[in-house]
Amino acid sequence: MAWRARPESLKLVAAKIRKQNWERQKQDGLDYVTVGDFAWYDHVLGTSLLLGHVPQRHNNGFPDLDTLFRIGRGQSQTDCGCAGEAASDMTKWFNTNYHYIVPEFSSDDQFKVSWTQLFDEINEAQQQGHQVKPVLLGPLSYLYLGKEVEQGFDRLSLLPRLLTAYQAIFAKFEKLGIEWVQVDEPILALELEKPWLESFKLAYQVIRSDVKVLLATYFDSVVDSLDAIVDLEVDGLHIDVVAAPKQLDEVVHRLPSDWVLSAGIINGRNVWRANLHSALHTLKPIKRELGERLWVASSCSLLHSPVNVELETKLPQGTENWFSFAKQKVSEVSWLAKALDGNEQAIEHCAQYSQPILDRGRSTWVNKPHVQSRVATLVSTNGDRSAPYAERAHHQQEVLKLPKLPTTTIGSFPQTAEVRKSRAAFKRGDIGVAEYESLMKDFIKDTVKRQEATGLDVLVHGEAERNDMVEYFAENLSGFQTTEFGWVQSYGSRCVKPAIVVADIERDKSITVDWSTYAQSLTDKPMKGMLTGPVTILCWTFPREDVSRETIANQLAFALQDEVDALQQANINIIQIDEPAIREGLPLKKRDHKEYLNWAVKAFKVSAASARPETQIHTHMCYSEFNEIIESVAELDADVITIETSRSNMELLNAFEEFNYPNEIGPGVYDIHSPNIPNVEWIEQLIEKAARRIPVERLWVNPDCGLKTRNWEETEASLTNLVQAAKNLRERLL
C-alpha cells in the first residue's frame, strides 16, 4: 500500500490540509475552528481507534495507522505473509454516500483511550493560534451504528464501560483548555427505541465535566426526541434546519434557558448558493429572542460538499454565481452571523446574495412539455414488465442457455493508469475522437479476452470509457452540469465527483450501445449492458432544490428506458440497471418510508419497462442494510439482483430466511475493496451458506461490487478461483 511506503510524507500532506482548513475558518471570522473532522479513512473507524476498540483479528497491540488501514482495507497475503485478513464490514452513513467501517461488539469488549490523533490535532491547532472546538462521535451513536458479533448479546449493555472511556476523553479536553466540544448524536433524528432514548440521560450525566457540550444532530428533525433531549446535561443543541425546517419553532420554544442553539441553516449537502436574504429573515426573530445564544452553522459536516467552486473555470457563462462549495459555505455562515449581529456591510451583502434558486434557469425546467407529458403518464402506470418473472425466466433460459450457478461480475474492470491517461488526454483535447475510441476498444478487447480466459459465463465490456458510474451518465444526458474539481469523499481514499441537476433531463443520444455491441462482437458469450439506475443517479448527484426528487427520478427513468430499448434492439440480452443507492435514499423516519419507496420502486420499474421477456434485467446493491426494505427490493422485479454480502459474511442474507425472494440472486462472494485474493474453499463456503437460504437453482456467483479499483493480477486470480468454485459446486450441489 502506498501509505506504507511514505508514511511521513502522508502525514505532512495531512497536516498541510488541516492548517489550510483551519486558517480558512479563522479568516472568515468563525468563532471556533473545528478539530477532529479529519479522518484517515472514516470518522467512525477513527473513533474505534480512539477508544481502543479494534476487532481481535486486527489487534496487534497498540492501534496505529497500520491497524486502521488493515481494518478498512483488509490485509493481503503479500502484506503479512499469512492467510490474509478480510476488511471489516462497511455501510452507508445514514442517507448519504459516505461510508463507515461498522464497529463490532461482543460481551467482553473493553474501551480505553488508545489513539492520540484527536488530542494531537487539538494541540496542533492551538499552537497555530486557533480557538478550538473539537468534534466527537457520541457514545450512543457509536454503539447504535455498530453490530453485535455474538448471538443474543445486546450492545447497549456495553454503555457503562464505554462511558468510562468518554470520561477519560473529556478529562483530556479539560487539560487542553477546551471550552466547547461538539458531540455528534445523529441517531436522535431517528425514531429510537425506548431503551436507546432513555440511555441518553445516564450517558450525559456520566460524561458531564467543565467542558461545555454542544449536542449535534442532523439529516432530519429531532422533535420526536425533544422530550429526552431537553432533559440532558448539555449546554447547547445543533439542529439541521435545511433537512427539517419545521422543527425550528418547536426547538426554540422548548430550548432550556441556558442553552445555545446552533442553527444549521447553510446546506452542507448541496452545492446551490444559499439564499442569505431568506435565511436572515428566518433567523432574525430567533436572534431577538435568544441573543448571543443563537449560533449560525452549516446544516451538517461540509464533508458532503466539494471544496472550492473558485477552482471551476469551465462553468457555462452566466452560471458562475449559482453554486457554493465548502469554502464558500464557510463564508456564507460568517456573513449571515455578522448580519444577525447588525453589521451593515453584512446586511447589505445578504440582501444582494439572495438570488432565488427558482430563478436559476427555471425556464429550462418548465419549457419542455414533451418531458413533462411523459412523466405525467406515470400517474396511470406501474411500469410493470410485459410478462411475469416465471414466464420471463423461461424465455431467458431459452435465449441465454446459462449453466446453473452462472458466474459474472458487477460491471467495471481495473481502471489502469493507461486507461485513465487515455481518457484524460481525450478530455483535454490532446487526442481526437477516432484515436480515443480506438484506444478504448483496445482496452475493451483486452478485458473481454481476460474474462474468457477465466471462464466466466456472462461477460461485461469493463467500462474503460467511464470515469464514474454516475458522472458518465450525467455527461451524456441533457440537464446536468459537471465540474472539474467537485470531489466528495465516499470512503477511505475513494472520492466521487457528483454532477449537478440544472434542467430537464433527457436522453438525446445513445449512451452505452456502441461500446456494448462492440464488446459483444468479440465473444460468443452473453455480454451484459451496464446502466446506472434512476434513484442512484439522483442520490449521487446534487439535485435542484426547487424540484422534487421524485420528479427528477421519473425523468431519469424514462431516459434510461430508452437506453434499455436501444440495447435490446442491438441484441444485448442482459442489461444491468444498478441501484446501490436505493436504500441510501430512504428517509430516516420510518413513517416516511412508504412514500419514498413507492416512487423509487416505480422509477426503477419504468426504466426497465421496455425490456422484452427474453431480455434479462439485473440490478446491483452494495454496502447497504437493505433487509428492512426487502419487500420493496422484490417489487423492483429485476430478474437477477446482485448484492454485497462478503464483508458481512452473508449476514445480509438473513432477511431471506423469513422472506421468500421470488427471483434470482447473486450474493457477492468476495470483497473487491480488499487486496485479498479469496481462495476456492472460501468462495465455496460462502455459496453453500447462501444456498441454505436461496434455492441453488436461483443463485448466481459474482464479486460483491465492481472491480474498478483492483489491479489485473488480483482480479484474474480472484475470478479464476470464483469460476472454479462454481464448477465444483455444480457437481456437488446440483
> Which residues are part of a known binding site?
92, 97, 410-412, 463, 494-495, 540, 578, 584, 620, 622, 644, 705
Q: Which residue has the cell 456520566?
A: 206
Dist. CA 546–CA 359, nearest whole Å: 10
Residue 484: C-alpha distances to residues 269, 497, 605 (Å): 18, 8, 33
CB 236 within 8 A of CB 270: no
- In the residue annotation, 673 being an active-site residue is answered as yes
Dist. CA 330–CA 161, nearest whole Å: 38
Dist. CA 377–CA 591, nearest whole Å: 27
- Cell numbers standing for residue 614: 427474453
The amino acid at 352: Q
Dist. CA 268–CA 265, nearest whole Å: 9
Instruction: Compute how many other C-beta atoms are within 10 angstroms of the C-beta atom of residue 455.
Output: 15
Dist. CA 137–CA 607, nearest whole Å: 39
CA atoms within 13 A on the CB side of 179: 8
- Cell numbers standing for residue 216: 449535534
Dist. CA 54–CA 104, nearest whole Å: 8
Annotated binding residues for L-homocysteine, written as ranges, equal 410-412, 463, 578
- Cell numbers standing for residue 234: 448539555
- H and E: helices and strands count for the chain: 28, 21
| Ordered alpha helix ranges (H), 540-585 | 549-569
Nearest C-alpha neighbor of 350 from the set 363, 365, 362, 332: 332
Which of 130, 461, 618, 673 is flagged as catalytic?
673
Residue 528 belongs to what H/E stretch?
Answer: strand 527-532
Q: Rounded to a whole number, what is the distance in angstroms from the first to the last CA of the chain? A: 41
CB 204 within 8 A of CB 232: yes
Residue 578 belongs to what H/E stretch?
Answer: strand 574-578
| Beta strands in 267-334, from DSSP E residues, in sequence order | 294-298
The amino acid at 181: V
For 196-238, give the DSSP string. Answer: HHHHHHHHHHHS--SSEEEEE--SS--GGGHHHHTTSS-SEEE
CB 652 within 8 A of CB 626: yes
Any residues with CB less than 8 A from the CB of 310 and at least 6 apart, and which?
327, 328
Residue 592: C-alpha distances to residues 194, 315, 368, 540, 720 (Å): 20, 36, 31, 20, 45
HEC states along 443-480? HHHHHHHHHHHHCCCCEECECCCCCCCCHHHHHHCEEE
| Ordered alpha helix ranges (H), 128-193 | 139-144, 159-175
Dist. CA 582–CA 231, nearest whole Å: 36
HEC states along 350-417? HHHCCCCHHHCCHHHHHCCHHHHHHHHHHHHCCCCCCCCHHHHHHHHHHHHCCCCCCECCCCECCCCH
Residue 494: C-alpha distances to residues 44, 46, 537, 679 (Å): 16, 17, 18, 26
- Tell me the chain's radius of gyration from C-alpha atoms: 26
Q: Which residues are known to be catalytic?
A: 673
